[in-house]
Each structure stands twice: as structure tokens, then as C-alpha cells.
């Protein structure tokens, strides 16, 4: 397949006006030193500080700079989605606009994709320049959880600096806040050659971080959503139906046991408690009701899945 450029660099940004001239100049220097044809796609996610006017100015003076502007702030995933759709390079990079990611890492990551055959090369900020309490420790817990759930052995899943084979970004859909898990999306799409490269991390030079501690809570919830969709997205009955049947059987067996114990004690003249006086009886009824509801949820989910237009969409590698 022919590509218009060697490299496409997609940079989502929100209120990063001050860093853009230095960042694009740095990228240009690295690209020209290594003889790459390239494009820089700056996606302005509804900035209010004049970032779009700066992008216009940069684009006028440098034809390799392209821009996309949102009318309001939609989030990083939306910015990456539009950037990926526009990317025409053989290898597509993502990086943050705050100068914490170094463009000097791009040539080696490009080589790893084109020569070593990796589908995804993720940056690994081994020595972070962030606050240890608010960023480093939560990040370590977050990445440990992500490794366990996804099975992808990356130390820094959320690093903004990544390199992708073009086919990867054209075959995944980034939405919501799923930008944290693009390697997992790639794996689910069949691009499982994923590795990482230690990269240099710098302190933020301008502005302030746009992400707070809540991103780790949201990230965990997004991870659970992705895991469920990858496992049961097209077969919801396998999860809800199985859970429902197990809960129903547990409740039913408990109910039968309580009633049988009462009848046996009554027949032998042994003192017994009324069935309705036993808390366990109500827990058993609750399990039965929940089991039925779970089963019905699985049935409805299966009907929705069967009628979905995407039920037979598959990522085909090659035809001959």
C-alpha cells in the first residue's frame, strides 16, 4: 500500500498555545535530520486561549502543519479519532502538546514499526517528572491493573507518545475516554504485536495539566467496560445468562433446603422456625429474582446484538 508520508504525527491539544511553536519547530528539526516526509496534525479540542489562531499561523508558514478545530471541548478520544481519520502516513504517532514528550524518540520508534514489524510501540516514561504522590503512585496502580486485565505487558499504558502502523489506527474506533486503552483496542482488532520503548520525559514547560486524580477512577471504569465488550460484546447471554442461572439455582436450592428442613422437623416433633421467619429464606428469594432478571437481561442483550448492523464485522488481514 502506498502512503503519502512516512510519518503522521497526531497531536490533540487544549489550551496549549505557548508550546506549539517550540513543539512544531522541534519536530521539523528531527524530521529533516532523518529525511522523513511527514505531516503534523494538530487537533484543537475547543481551546479558549488562542491555540487555533496559533495553528493557523503555523500552517501558513509551514505546509507540513495541518489543523482540525472542534467547536467545543469533546475530549482527547474525539481528537484522536479525527486525527487518525486524517492521517496519511505509513506510521502514525501520537504525542501530547505540552512538550513533555520528546520528538527525538520518533526515529527509533519508526524503525521499530517498519523494520522490526511491531504494530504498536508504546512509550514508557521510566523516570517521570510529575508529582510522585498525585501522579506516580496512582499511575503504577493503574498500569498494574491494566496489565492484569488486558494481558498486555506495558508499564505505561497511558503514555501519550505512541507509534502505530497505519492499518491499526484505521481499524479501531476511539470513543468516550478510551484513548487510555488504544493498545487494548488494537489487540482486540487483531494487532497483537505490541511492545514498548523507554522514552525521555520532561517537566511541563507551559500551562497546567488538564487531568486530575479523577482520571484514574474513570480509567478503571473504562477498562472494565472494554474488557466486558471484548469478552461478551457479541454474546451477552454467555455472561448474563450464566450468572442468572447460577443465582437462580443457588436461590432455589436454598429455598428447597429451608422448606425441607422445616417439614422434617415438623414430622419428628422437633421445634422449628416458620419459613417466613428465617432471613435466609428472603435471601434465597432475592437470589431467584435476581437470577431471573439477569437471564432476561442476557436475552434482551442477545436480541440487540443479533439485530446490530455490526454483528458480522470482522477485521480481515488479507484475501487471495
Q: What is the tens place of the pLDDT at every residue in 193-202?
A: 999 999 987 7
Calculate what percentage of the chain has a pLDDT beyond 70.
87
Residue with cell 428472603: 282
Where is pLDDT greater, at 219 or 249? Answer: 249
Longest dimension (CA), the chain: 98
pLDDT of residue 263: 87
229-238 burial: b if 16+ Cβ within 10 Å, else e: ebebebebbe
Split at pLDDT 50, 70, 90, the class of 120 is: very high
User: What pLDDT does 225 receive?
Assistant: 76
pTM: 0.74
**pLDDT tens digits, one per residue of 34-60:** 999 999 999 999 999 999 999 999 999
CA distances from 17 to 8, 28, 63, 85, 100 (A): 21, 18, 19, 24, 15
Note the pLDDT of residue 1: 76
Among candidate residues 2, 6, 31, the one with its CA nearest the CA of residue 89? 6
Contact between 204 and 98 under an 8 Å Cβ cutoff? The reply is yes
CB atoms within 10 A of CB 1: 5
34, 197, 12: which is closest to 95 by C-alpha? 12
Amino acid at each position: 500500500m502506498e502512503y503519502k508520508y512516512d510519518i503522521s504525527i497526531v497531536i490533540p491539544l487544549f489550551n496549549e498555545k505557548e508550546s506549539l511553536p517550540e513543539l512544531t519547530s522541534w519536530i521539523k528539526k528531527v524530521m529533516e535530520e532523518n529525511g522523513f516526509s511527514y505531516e503534523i496534525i494538530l487537533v484543537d479540542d475547543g481551546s479558549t486561549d488562542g491555540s487555533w489562531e496559533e495553528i493557523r499561523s503555523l500552517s501558513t508558514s509551514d505546509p507540513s502543519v495541518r489543523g482540525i478545530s472542534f467547536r467545543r471541548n469533546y475530549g482527547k478520544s474525539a481528537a484522536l479519532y479525527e486525527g487518525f481519520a486524517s492521517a496519511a502516513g505509513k506510521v502514525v504517532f501520537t504525542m501530547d502538546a505540552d512538550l513533555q514528550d520528546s520528538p527525538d524518540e520518533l526515529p527509533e520508534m519508526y524503525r521499530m514499526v517498519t523494520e522490526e514489524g511491531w504494530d504498536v510501540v508504546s512509550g514508557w516514561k521510566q523516570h517521570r517528572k510529575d508529582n510522585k504522590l498525585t501522579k506516580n503512585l496512582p499511575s503504577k496502580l493503574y498500569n498494574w491493573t491494566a496489565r492484569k486485565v488486558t494481558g498486555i505487558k506495558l508499564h505505561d499504558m497511558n503514555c501519550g507518545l505512541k507509534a502505530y502502523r497505519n492499518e491499526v489506527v484505521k481499524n479501531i474506533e476511539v470513543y468516550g475516554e478510551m484513548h487510555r486503552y488504544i493498545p487494548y483496542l488494537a489487540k482486540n482488532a487483531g494487532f497483537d504485536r505490541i511492545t514498548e520503548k523507554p522514552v525521555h520525559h520532561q517537566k511541563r514547560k507551559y500551562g497546567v495539566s488538564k487531568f486530575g486524580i479523577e482520571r484514574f477512577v474513570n480509567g478503571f471504569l473504562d477498562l472494565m467496560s472494554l474488557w466486558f465488550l471484548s469478552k461478551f460484546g457479541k454474546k451477552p447471554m454467555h455472561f448474563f445468562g450464566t450468572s442468572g442461572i447460577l443465582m437462580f439455582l443457588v436461590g432455589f436450592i436454598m429455598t428447597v433446603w429451608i422448606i425441607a428442613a422445616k417439614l422434617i422437623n415438623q414430622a419428628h416433633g422437633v421445634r422449628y422456625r416458620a419459613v417466613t421467619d428465617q432471613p435466609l429464606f428472603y435471601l434465597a428469594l432475592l437470589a431467584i429474582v435476581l437470577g431471573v432478571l439477569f437471564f432476561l437481561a442476557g436475552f434482551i442483550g442477545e436480541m440487540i446484538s443479533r439485530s446490530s448492523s455490526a454483528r458480522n464485522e470482522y477485521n480481515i488481514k488479507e484475501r487471495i
